[in-house]
Amino acid sequence: MLGRLRAGLLGALGVLLVAALWDLYKAFGPEQGVLVGERTLILPRATDLAMPHTWEMVRRLFEPATGLRGAPTALEAVLDASAFTLSIAARGWLVGVVVGIALALLMTRFKIAEAGMLPWIVLSQTVPLIAIAPLVRRWGAQIEFGSFTWENEHSVALIAAYLAFFPVAVGGLRGLKSPARTHVELMHTYGVGWWRTLITLRLPASVPFLLPALRLAAASAVIGSVVAEVSIGLRGGIGRMVVEYAQSAGGDPAKAWAPIFGAVAVGLVAAGAVGLLTLALRPFHLTETIR
- Of residues 20, 24, 71, 115, which one binds another protein by CB under 8 A? 115
Strands 148-149 and 40-43: unpaired
Please identify which residue in 93, 231, 232, 237 interacts with another protein, judged by CB under 8 A: 231
Of 161, 227, 232, 258, which lies in the binding site for another protein, with binding defined by CB under 8 A?
Answer: 227
With CB under 8 A as the contact rule, the residue among 58, 150, 177, 252 that binds another protein is 177
Instruction: Name the segment binding another protein (CB under 8 A); options: 68-76, 97-105, 191-199, 245-253.
Output: 245-253
If phi > 0 it is left, if psi is from -120 to 50 it is alpha, else beta; for residue 191 that is left
Q: Cβ closer to another protein: 69 or 291? A: 291
Give the nearest distance from C-beta 194 to another protein in angstroms. 21
Binder among 27, 112, 276, 280 for another protein (CB under 8 A): 112
Is residue 6 a contact point for another protein (CB under 8 A)?
yes
In order, the DSSP letters of the chain are -HHHHHHHHHHHHHHHHHHHHHHHHHHHS-TT-EEETTTEEEE---STTTS--HHHHHHHHTSBSSSSTTPPBHHHHHHHHHHHHHHHHHHHHHHHHHHHHHHHHHHHH-HHHHHHHHHHHHHHTTS-HHHHHHHHHHHHHT-EETTEE--HHHHHHHHHHHHHHHHHHHHHHHHHT-S-HHHHHHHHHTT--HHHHIIIIIHHHHHHHHHHHHHHHHHHHHHHHHHHHHHHT-SSSHHHHHHHHHHGGGT-GGGGHHHHHHHHHHHHHHHHHHHHHHHHTGGG-TT----
Candidates 75-83, 95-103, 169-177, 199-207: pick the segment binding another protein (CB under 8 A): 169-177
Residue 243, C-beta contacts closer than 8 angstroms, at least 6 positions apart: 230
Q: Which is nearer to another protein, 109 or 138 (CB)?
A: 138
Binding of residue 235 to another protein (CB under 8 A): no
Residues near 48 by beta carbon (within 8 Å), at least 6 away in sequence: 253
Residue 2 touching another protein (CB under 8 A): no
CB of 71 to another protein, least distance (A): 22
Q: Which of 122, 143, 199, 277 binds another protein (CB under 8 A)?
A: 122
Judged by CB under 8 A, the chain residues 14 through 53 that form the site for another protein are: 14-15, 17-18, 33, 39-42, 44-45, 49-51
279 binds another protein (CB under 8 A): no
Residue 291 touching another protein (CB under 8 A): yes
- Residue range at the interface with another protein (CB under 8 A); choices 58-66, 100-108, 192-200, 249-257: 249-257
Q: Which CB sits closer to another protein, 132 or 281?
A: 132
Compare residues 79 and 117 and give the one whose CB is closer to another protein: 117
CA 249, CA 247: separation in Å to the nearest integer?
5
Scan residues 69-108 and list those touching another protein (CB under 8 A): none
Residues 187-226 that bind another protein (CB under 8 A): 218-219, 222-223, 226
